[in-house]
Structure 1
């Protein structure tokens, strides 16, 4: 039976910046319009975090059942390592996904934006069938696309919309940047696992692109958000605050393009998450100041 510490590891807490960052940016946009709703922002955060934890457990369950996680480098896999029964991990996944669904329904009922229920349903389906079902789309090279969409435009614009209505062009640009940085975290993970994924037939985008092209994809996904900050800064100077994260990006890009592998990519994963958090914080403040000015 898995210990509490192992269950916490299985939730992959280091990846939760992926769900925190878009809520920060969306809320920064809401502050800029003078329409901040702290309760709605908190509920949006609960939805994002609980759904991501549910996805992490669901991936552990589905990959573990397929044997994909039997020989992995990186965070503990509950099913793959044998410390937890698959059924227990599946139950945990469903419980967290249900918690996210309930928080989402509450948020929709308070804001009365009922059409968002359809968005929530798509998010739940996307969460489960990422690695679940007979034809998981993460095994077809679509994982990064889904992460970009759900942790970028959907999460950022959804957070902004429930607080302040239709988003501005600056918020849309910021949402694209968040999505790219979030996708870069997954690219790092899949780059590390190219060998083991290829052996078990998990055709991630990294497997399809190959090692070299995946490394350049990582560099592009990290770099483009800074270009977006520069372009947004031409319209509103405070948007340049996202560039505060630029120095943090130099080392991981060099290491990835330099060919680091295995456990060294685990460290890059942490660095990438920090880049996303700092860029998102700077961009959130920039949105607040840009739209107030």
Structure 2
């Protein structure tokens, strides 16, 4: 039989674990690969040109993860303020509407993450170029205005384009630049399919939330084209990404080892098929998850192929 002291200690530990999970969910960890993958690919590309400065790689990775997590927190805060989230909402961290975390706490945490990312950015600029301070500031502004401001990007048909450009293409190019001091056409070409797949994560999210978004006055791409066409566009984005890599290999832009990305085809198929015939958000969660996993698998396999081609 446990003593009252032991019981209180056990309850405290349970509360600690619960609280830890609340903060972890607030970052929406399934989306963080959208930051990890581009940094890894940009660094793997740079490995072909120069020796890698590990400190800059780690700094870029941490800064990107912080910006992505902060963007998710801004999303949580502003969707709550606009009355879009409820305890039944699917795909949110739920810290505010389910766990009772004060909205200002979430906002303050997001700003803190941005502040730390900016400090890391200063270190990166000191070791590369101060022009990156401008580029980084634009990326952070995009993260804020994705759901903040009078006309949030997420409420328009341009959300997928913005996500792909800032979290796909730009992050790869910055990660490449801080190691090499330049941006090459190869880096740009390789970043395209990743930009598409990052955009696909957002499109999958908007397909899942289509009915709720429509009621709340959003004008996302999925709403404009309809559910069926949105699923077709998603499948097309997957297809273009794989065909693009074949084109790069045929044109001798990258090594055939990068075709390892085709091992992620089954996950892409599962993602596209998983939305067909579904209308309830909870039923589309597996497809949403598979879309994020496609980006992760494709990106990690691409980075691996780039590294192997360098070593061989």
The answer to whether structure 1 residue 254 and structure 2 residue 273 are counterparts is yes
Given the superposition, is the C-alpha separation of residues 292 and 4 from structure 1 closer, same or farther in structure 2, using an over 3 Å criterion?
closer
Shift of 1:35: 2.8
Shift of 1:263: 1.6
Shift of 1:16: 0.5
Q: Which runs of 5+ in 2 are unaligned?
A: 1-14
Correspondence for 2:117 among 94, 100, 107: 100
The answer to whether structure 1 residue 280 and structure 2 residue 302 are counterparts is no
Shift of 1:292: 6.2
Partner of 1:123: 139
Between the aligned partners of 1:138 and 1:40, the Cα distance in structure 2 is 31
Provide the secondary structure at the position in 1 that maps to 2:32.
helix
Tell me whether 129-138 or 65-74 shows the greater mean CA deviation. 65-74
Superposed CA deviations along residues 193-223 of structure 1, whole A, max 9, x for unmatched, are 1111111112222222221121111111222
Partner of 1:29: 45
Provide the secondary structure at the position in 2 that maps to 1:78.
coil
Given the superposition, is the C-alpha separation of residues 184 and 261 from structure 1 closer, same or farther in structure 2, using an over 3 Å criterion?
farther
Between the aligned partners of 2:280 and 2:234, the Cα distance in structure 1 is 14
Between the aligned partners of 2:210 and 2:266, the Cα distance in structure 1 is 28
Partner of 1:223: 239
Please tell me the root mean square deviation across aligned C-alpha atoms, in Å.
1.9
Superposed CA deviations along residues 236-267 of structure 1, whole A, max 9, x for unmatched, are 32221222212222222222245464223211
Partner of 1:141: 157
Bigger-Rg structure (1/2): 2
Between the aligned partners of 1:10 and 1:91, the Cα distance in structure 2 is 13
CA contact (8 A) 1:33 1:291 kept: no
CA contact (8 A) 1:29 1:291 kept: no
Between the aligned partners of 1:22 and 1:110, the Cα distance in structure 2 is 20
CA contact (8 A) 2:274 2:286 kept: no
Between the aligned partners of 1:137 and 1:277, the Cα distance in structure 2 is 24
Tell me whether 53-62 or 283-292 shows the greater mean CA deviation. 283-292
Between the aligned partners of 1:229 and 1:260, the Cα distance in structure 2 is 33
CA contact (8 A) 2:235 2:272 kept: yes
Partner of 1:87: 104
The normalised TM-score by structure 1 is: 0.93
The answer to whether structure 1 residue 176 and structure 2 residue 195 are counterparts is no
Partner of 1:76: 93
Between the aligned partners of 2:187 and 2:264, the Cα distance in structure 1 is 18
CA contact (8 A) 2:34 2:168 kept: no
Between the aligned partners of 1:218 and 1:80, the Cα distance in structure 2 is 30
Partner of 1:240: 259
How many residue pairs end up in the alignment? 292
The answer to whether structure 1 residue 162 and structure 2 residue 181 are counterparts is no
